[in-house]
Amino acid sequence: MRILITGATGFIGQPLCRELADKDHELLAVSRSPDEARDKLPEGTDIQANISDFIDAAPEAVINLAGEPIAEGRWTDEKKRRIVESRVDITRAIVELCGKAENPPNVLVSASAMGYYGDQGDREVTEDTPPNHEFVHEICDRWESEARKAEACGARVAIARIGLVLDQGGGMLARTLTPFKLGLGGRLGDGTQYMPWIHREDMVRVLIFLLERDELSGPFNASAPNPVTNAEFTQALANALHRPAVLPAPAIALKLAFGEMSRLLLTGAKMLPKRLEEAGFEFRYAELKEALAEILDSK
């Protein structure tokens, strides 16, 4: 299959591209720095700077992972604009490609995030749970709405609402491993907020599962079936590293340091992968303890 990937050089995109190449798919990748991207992607990947460059290449499928990082720095008005527009604009370009291509893609697998639901406290959250309307929901709602426009071009659209992706080399562990290794880790706020998580290996498998299963469309919660609270995550990571976790970050300090962005750290959702499991997807890492053991022991 000829597959176009946005965000191909990212934390999820790179292992996804390797897996797809191993399956003998033909890869097309979008990168603002094609020369740099060639060192990160499988040999033979066709890399272009713009989605429109691939209209004549006739991709049969698209996996859309691109977007401005959301959990870095304070959310100024300019930062919030870039967060939203980076996701909406590139998804809109994909839909335009679908409309202009003589043979439009058959499927679009588009990323979204757990933030779609907003703060949900301790209730169980499935794909049917109504969202709490706040900025993170607005981002995901506009992102998903743009992706669904590809259906008018005949594409099947599957949306992955992604939890916290765990592995070394990026994601939240890249920011937390060092302080925890030094014994300086601790819960965020009161630690009761839920953290839906997923091992990066399972995340790649979810995307390929949605790509290959022709009957699957709509939203899918992409997180392990056993979400944990921040306090539970903190203790599990400390135990895996054989370190204490005795230095909590008070909510007021996080709010002062990060402003509105602190809501990402202090709120959450007990998100469950109901539709994925109903479709037959089996997680290799369903429990946090075994996921952290694989990540920390084998790298």
Classify residue 299: in a domain, yes or no.
no
| Residue 234 token pair | 């903190």
pLDDT of residue 217: 98
Classify residue 103: in a domain, yes or no.
yes
Q: Which residues of the chain have pLDDT under 70?
A: 298-299
pLDDT of residue 286: 98
pLDDT of residue 184: 85
- 87-133: pLDDT as tens digits: 999 999 999 999 998 899 999 999 999 999 999 999 999 999 999 99
Classify residue 168: in a domain, yes or no.
yes
**Of 126, 133, 153, 131, nearest in space to 271 by CA:** 126
Residue range(s) defining the domain that contains residue 269: 2-293
Per-position DSSP letters for 148-184, written without gaps between them: HGGGGGT-EEEEEEE-EEE-TTSHHHHHHHHHHHTT-
Give SS3 for 16. helix
CA distance 187 to 197: 16
Q: What is the CATH number of the domain that holds 41?
A: 3.40.50.720
Q: What is the pTM of this model?
A: 0.94
Classify residue 198: in a domain, yes or no.
yes
Structural domains in the chain (count): 1
